[in-house]
Amino acid sequence: MRKLLLHPAAKPVLFALCLLPFAWLVYAAAADQLGANPQEALVRATGDWALRFLCIVLAVTPLRVLTHTPQLARFRRMLGLFMYFYAVVHLLSYSWFDQGFYFDEIAKDIAKRPFILVGFSAWLLLTPLALTSFNRAIKALGARRWQALHRLVYAVAGLAVLHFFWMRAGKNNFAEVWVYAAILGGLLGWRAWQFMAKKASSQRGS
C-alpha cells in the first residue's frame, strides 16, 4: 500500500477521482437527470461534496498516524483544494440559481438568513487556507504562523455543521446532520486528545 501511495500515478488518479462528482453533476445537469428542481439539486449536491471533502481532509492526519502511513500526507493539499473547489462551486450555484448573480440581493440574503451567513463565513475562512496552501506561502509566513492560520479549519468544520443543521431545520430532517457532526466531532476530538497528550508528555519531560 505504501508503495502504491508513492507511485507517480497516485496523484493523477486521486485528482480524477476527486473530479468525478463534479463531472457527474455536469453530465446530470446536461442530461436533465437532476429531478424536478435541478437548480436546488446542484446547490445541495455541491454543498454535500464540500462537507464530505472536509471530513476526508480532517481524516488524513489520524489515518496517517494510526496506520503508520506517512505517505498519506502528500495527498492532503490536493484534497484540501478540492474541498475549497466544491465550496466555491456551491457558493456559485447559490449565487447563480437562487440569486441570479444580483449581488445586492445576495448581500441582503446573507444578512437576513442565519444559515446563509454561517455558510458564507465558512467559505471566507476557507479562502485564506486555500491561498496559502502552497510551499511559497509556508516559507513566507513561517511554519508556526502557517500552522496557526490553518487551524481555522476547525472553525470551518463547526460552521459547516451549523450551516447544514440550520438548512435542514426547515424540513426537520437532521439524520445526515448528526452523521456529519459525529464524524467531524470524532476527528476534532482525536486532534484535541493528541494535543493534550503531547502537552502532558512535554510537561513530564521538563
What is the predicted pLDDT for the residue at 204?
72
For the cut 90, the answer to whether the pLDDT of residue 201 exceeds it is no
Supply the pTM of this predicted model: 0.94
What is the predicted pLDDT for the residue at 205?
65
Of 75-79, 113-117, 176-180, 196-200, which gets the smallest average pLDDT?
Answer: 196-200
pLDDT mean over 13-28: 97
* pLDDT, tens only, 145-170: 999 999 999 999 999 999 999 999 87
Determine the Cα–Cα distance for residues 138 and 68; give it in Å rounded to an integer. Answer: 25
- How many beta carbons lie within 10 A of that of residue 170, not counting itself? 8
* pLDDT, tens only, 78-122: 999 999 999 999 999 999 999 999 999 999 999 999 999 999 999
One DSSP character per residue, the chain reads -HHHHHSTTHHHHHHHHHHHHHHHHHHHHHTT-S-S-HHHHHHHHHHHHHHHHHHHHHHHHHHHHHTT-GGGGGGHHHHHHHHHHHHHHHHHHIIIIITTT-HHHHHHHHHH-HHHHHHHHHHHHHHHHHHT-SHHHHHHH-HHHHHHHHTHHHHHHHHHHHHHHHHHHTTT--HHHHHHHHHHHHHHHHHHHHHHHHHHHHHHH-
Q: Which residues contact 172 (CB under 8 A, 6 or more apart)?
A: none
What is the predicted pLDDT for the residue at 172?
85
